Structure 1
Amino acid sequence: MKIGIDARNLIHNLTGIGRYVLEMCRELADTGNEIFLYFPEKPISDLPSLSKATFRISSHAGSLRRMVWAQTTLPQQAVRDQIDVFWGPAHRLPFNLDPHIPRVVTIHDLVWRHAASTMRVRGWLADRFLMRSAIFSSDVIVAVSRSTADDVRTLYPSVSDKLRVVYPGLTRLEENGASSVLADNGIDRDYALFVGTLEPRKNLRNLLEAYASLSEPVRKDLLLVIAGGQGWGLGDLRSHVVRLKLEPNIRLTGYVTDSDLAVLYRRAKFLAMPSLYEGFGFPIIEANAAGAPALTSKVSSMPEVAGEAALLVDPTDIQDISTALESLALDKMLRSRLARNAPLNALRFNWGKSALELAASFESAIAARKP
């Protein structure tokens, strides 16, 4: 197939959705499909793993110009490339896409609906209005989890027949042998690890409050390492750490490379990810692949993704999070049982399988759009 793809999520440093787009595109290209990647501006990385794809790079930097690009330049390029199917990998489809072109949209989550207070106003407005249009104009809707599919089905019952669940795969992070991330950040003892963009939905304030309520001996033997780039809505996270008098026990690494992240996962006692809402949750399976169990939430997709390799908590209950932190810190039998399950759970997620199922969704869209 000739597949046209909105590649705007590949412009900057890769987070969850960006990695999803990268890995899916690589697998689709490796299995013989012809991939056309449409960029509103030049990506900061050369993306060598996508060398088989054709890049169409425009000059529309900035959020407002990207919106114009999506409705003008992108659909024009798709027509010129005579693609067989168009894929919006993250909640968007162009309004002006040629009506003869089949189209598929991937929905990762409905944060705007279920955790609106954790979003910037601009992002909320964009998802609130653009996602609905993409859902109704698509031939097939791909959801990244059963939880997300159920959310879409509940909100828009009339599109149920178009829904498919295609789990993302697992990217196995490799150490390069030269990482100094532990020494550079003063990580000199056991630790619980948080991974993610620092934003309200990740529930870091409750995680810090729960950690602060642990006894001093437990905190002394168990650091909390927070790895992730600065998002929004938390101000300076260090101020919360200072307020809770946790400076000796917290390590803030900022954004880390994949190689450094591999080291952090491998050495972690467990992952601490009590998010308020997740459409999938890549850190859960990345930690599992390194043999680390997870503390995560009993809401949205997290129980579905974590399987039998996690301790589940109420993310709004600080005491529940604290009790789980203490259990995973001190109960060796519990931690060992969950750690044994972790690699098996991670094996459920494979990019090759994901891309095959996505390609089948493209074929269904082509069949549905035929006159």
Structure 2
Amino acid sequence: MHIGFDISQTGSGKAGCGFFSHALIKAMLELVPEHRYSLFPSFGNFYFDAKMPLANPYSGRDVHYGPRHLTREAASLFWIGNEAEALLGLPDIIHANNFWCPTQFTSSRLIYTFYDMGFVVNPDWTTEANRVGCFDGVFRSAMAADWVVAISDASKTHYLSVFPHFPENRIRVIYPCSRFSDYSAVGKRPKALEGVADGKYWLNVGTIEPRKNQHRLVESYARYLALGGEPMPLVLAGGKGWLMDDFQKHLSALGINAQIVMTGYVSDDELIWLYRNCYANLYPSLFEGFGLPVLEGMQFGAPTLTSNSTSIPEVAGDAAILMDPEDTDSWVQAMLRIAVNKLERDRLSLAAIEQSKRFDWKQSAAALLQLYEEALASPKRRIA
């Protein structure tokens, strides 16, 4: 089989979408090295990383990179052109992973990864440019994709509710998994946590942006402190996202600047250390396609307090405390309770490790390869 696979978001600054495609291609190359793999450092006209691929981390007996483009304009001209499919060598499969979706392919089976449509649920969670670009790609997938890979049952249900014309038998749930393969890794303490005792901080991981709900989280934390909760600092591990220019002012208004540690972007080793040594992992996200910080924290035994919304219950199962992400009082009470109940904390830690073992990249890659086989055995989807 000749598999064309979008790796455009797998560069050094990769986030959730990039980790998904990075881990899947690595697992597929290990499971079935005999296929021919064409890996696309650029894909479409929505996302472009000029540094891709300075290094080629994916190697194999029949692995090829290209086409390479030095500018977004050059990439756009190639990918929207009618000759793109032929110039790529007519792959059996072309798998899109960065929201953009081609519509002109007539031979290759087009597989589209669908992450989420939070930008449809609440336009205030992102910028107009990102909202328009993402929705354009998802809309085009509903018209042109032969199959859709959804990263959770919640995402699948949402996709079909927005695009009820899409055939349900051509959308398949394939779960992401942790980026970390070594459960015994100890990681490296971030410099920002010098002086903070191991096991004596609350943790939140993720880009600081409206959808991740850090505004309410710090409000809950301030209330927790006001009610006499143990004064462990709250560590926010993640870069600053969009529409959060007032976040520092919000911390000042709450009077908790000194209790907040903002690490910025952290390395994988630092993230492992943060998960392994936190008192608990707090993840009050309003909307998720999956929720990797929940799973990855559980992998390293982080007791978890998280949202009961969208996909997160699929990830957390019965191994976390699930709450309404908009109910700050519930979050305050849960933090107060777990801060003094070490037995409950230890129980959540053990349950988290067991829950995380249900997600495995090799199983996900095997499911994806099976989908490719089904796609090749089926006619291309036609829109009436």
Alignment of 1:1-371 (within 5 A): 1-30=1-30, 31-32=32-33, 33-40=35-42, 41-43=49-51, 46-47=54-55, 49-52=57-60, 53-62=63-72, 67-72=76-81, 76=84, 79-97=87-105, 99-159=106-166, 160-172=168-180, 179-181=188-190, 184-188=193-197, 190-216=200-226, 218=228, 220-235=230-245, 237-369=247-379
- State the one-letter code of the partner of 2:291: G
TM-score when normalising by structure 1: 0.91
TM-score when normalising by structure 2: 0.88
Contact 2:50/2:70 (<8 A) preserved = no
SS of structure 2 residue aligned to 1:50:
coil
Between 1:119-128 and 1:219-228, the stretch displaced more is 219-228
Question: What per-residue deviation string (whole Å, max 9, x for no partner) do you get for residues 249-277 of structure 1?
Answer: 11100000001111111101111110010
Between 1:247-256 and 1:319-328, the stretch displaced more is 319-328
Structure 2 residue runs of 5 or longer lacking an equivalent are 43-48
Bigger proportion of residues as helix: 1
**Judging changes above 3 Å, is the alpha-carbon distance between structure 1 residues 370 and 135 closer, same or farther for their aligned structure 2 residues?**
closer
CA shift for structure 1 position 127 = 2.0
Number of aligned residue pairs: 368
- State the one-letter code of the partner of 1:96: Q
CA shift for structure 1 position 220 = 4.8
CA shift for structure 1 position 57 = 4.5
**Judging changes above 3 Å, is the alpha-carbon distance between structure 1 residues 3 and 244 closer, same or farther for their aligned structure 2 residues?**
same
SS of structure 2 residue aligned to 1:233:
coil
**Judging changes above 3 Å, is the alpha-carbon distance between structure 1 residues 111 and 367 closer, same or farther for their aligned structure 2 residues?**
same
Alpha-carbon distance in structure 1 between the residues aligned to 2:53 and 2:40 = 15
Alpha-carbon distance in structure 2 between the residues aligned to 1:317 and 1:60 = 48
Contact 1:91/1:131 (<8 A) preserved = yes
Alpha-carbon distance in structure 1 between the residues aligned to 2:53 and 2:66 = 15
- State the one-letter code of the partner of 1:70: W
Runs of 4+ in structure 1 off by over 6 angstroms are: 175-178
Identity %: 28
Alpha-carbon distance in structure 2 between the residues aligned to 1:108 and 1:96 = 22
- State the one-letter code of the partner of 1:355: A
Question: What per-residue deviation string (whole Å, max 9, x for no partner) do you get for residues 195-230 of structure 1?
Answer: 111111100000010100013585553211000012
CA shift for structure 1 position 245 = 1.2
SS of structure 1 residue aligned to 2:258:
coil
**Judging changes above 3 Å, is the alpha-carbon distance between structure 1 residues 180 and 302 closer, same or farther for their aligned structure 2 residues?**
closer
The equivalent residue for 2:46 is none
CA shift for structure 1 position 156 = 1.9
CA shift for structure 1 position 155 = 1.8
